[in-house]
Each structure stands twice: as structure tokens, then as C-alpha cells.
Amino acid sequence: MSVREIRSKLVGDAAIIYPGPYLNQFKGQRVEGRCQEFLGRGIRRVVINFEGTELINSIGVSILLGVIEAVNEMKGTLVLSNLSESNCDLFEILGLKSRLNIADTEENALAAIIRDSLAQGLELESLGPDVAAAIVD
């Protein structure tokens, strides 16, 4: 199930990271590293897309909390998207849900980021037509 490398992409000035099927210590550290990489490049808007993430363990959660903290310290925004019901329950159990930005889809996550960023004068077109449509909707 586990794929060693994680995927990520840039949509405008937002980074999207895909942790893969199992967010454990190893994958968590990879996500953390990739996120630090983006932050180092001045990209402060991050979406972590959990589509296809079947399992998250407690160590993965701990690392994820560290990532959120790092983004917040940089005055950035991090949104989690495409969480399965069981993964969503996991954050609920740990009492973390209220501290997280959660969107149901990647598009909605980006839209939430952009709404948050519009005040800072972000160009809507730079995000591509799909995202722009989601925001307009």
C-alpha cells in the first residue's frame, strides 16, 4: 500500500501535497519536509489532500500538527481536504477538529485559501479556471 515518495503540485501560489495511502511517521516526515521546502520558497498556502489516504496513525497526526504549526508561524494557511469519514473521526476523537481547516474537496480547500487571501490582492486568474469557478460558485 505504501508508496515511498509523496506527490505534490503547485496551483498558483498554493501547494498541494498528497500523503498517500498511509500517513505514518515516515510519510509524516516526508510531508513535513515537502512543506518546509515550499515554505522556504515563499509558498505559504498549503493544501494536504487525503484522497486515497486510508489510514492515519497517531505519530502521523503528531507530525501533521507540527506542520500546521510551522505554516501558522509563517502566517500561512493550511487546509486539509478529502478526509475519509474514519480519518475525520480520528481528528474528532483527538479533539483537534476545531483547530483544523477542513474542506471536503481539493477545489474547496483552494477556494477557502483564496477567500482567505483575496484581501491580500491575489489574482484570481492565476489559480486556473477550475478553482476560479469554485470560488465564483
Partner 1 sequence: MSQSRVGQILGRVPNTQFFGREAEIERLCRAGKGDLSADADRPAADRPAPSFLRRFRVDPATINLVLGPPRVGKTEILLKCFDRLFTERGHAVPVYHRIEQRETGVVVFAREFLATFLTAFTAFRRNDPNRLFELPGPLPTLVRGAAAEDSGWIRRLVDAFDLATQLGDPVAMLKCALSAPRVAAANTGLVPVVMIDDFHLVVPAANADERAGFFWGQEVLGSLASRSPRRLAAYGNANWVLCGLGRVLVEMLPADEELFGLIRLFEVRPLSDEAFEQTIGAMATARSLEVGESTTELIVQQLNRDLFYAGSLLDAAAAFGRPLKTFMQFERVYTEEVTQGRIARFLDAVLRDAAGDPARLRASLEAMHMVTEAGEAAPREAILECMTRYTTGAEGLLAELHLRELLNSDFEFVRPSVDPVLADYVRVRYRREVSGLPPSLVGDPLLGRRLRLAYSLMMSRHNRAVESKLVDVLSRFDFQSIPTASFLSVRDSNSGLNDAASSDGEDETRIRLPQIVCVSDFGSSDVRGVAWRLVSARGFDGPIYNEENEVDWLVTLIRSKEPLDMETLNRICERQETAGQRGSADRSARAVRWFISKEGFSAAAAEHLSSLGAYGSNYAQLDLLSDHLTNLGQEHRNRKPATEFELVIPTDDEAELIAVRTVEQIARSAAFDQGAINQIKTALIEACINAAEHGDSPDGKIYQRFQIDDDRLVIRVWNKGRVFDPEVEGPARRERKAGMEQRGRGLQIIRALMDDVRFERTDDGTSLVMTKLLRRPPSVVES
Q: Which residues bind partner 1 (CB under 8 A)?
A: 1-2, 22, 24, 26, 55-59, 61-62, 84-86, 89-90, 93-94
Q: What are phi and psi of 118, to 5 degrees?
A: -55, -35
**Could you tell me the smallest distance in angstroms from the CB atom of residue 58 to partner 1?**
4
Closer residue to partner 1 (CB): 15 or 61? 61
Pairing of strands 55-56, 45-49: unpaired
**Could you tell me the smallest distance in angstroms from the CB atom of residue 80 to partner 1?**
17
DSSP, collapsed to helix, strand or coil, labels residue 132 as helix
> CA end-to-end span of the chain, whole Å?
36
CA distance 71 to 50: 18
**Could you tell me the smallest distance in angstroms from the CB atom of residue 74 to partner 1?**
24
Closer residue to partner 1 (CB): 1 or 136? 1
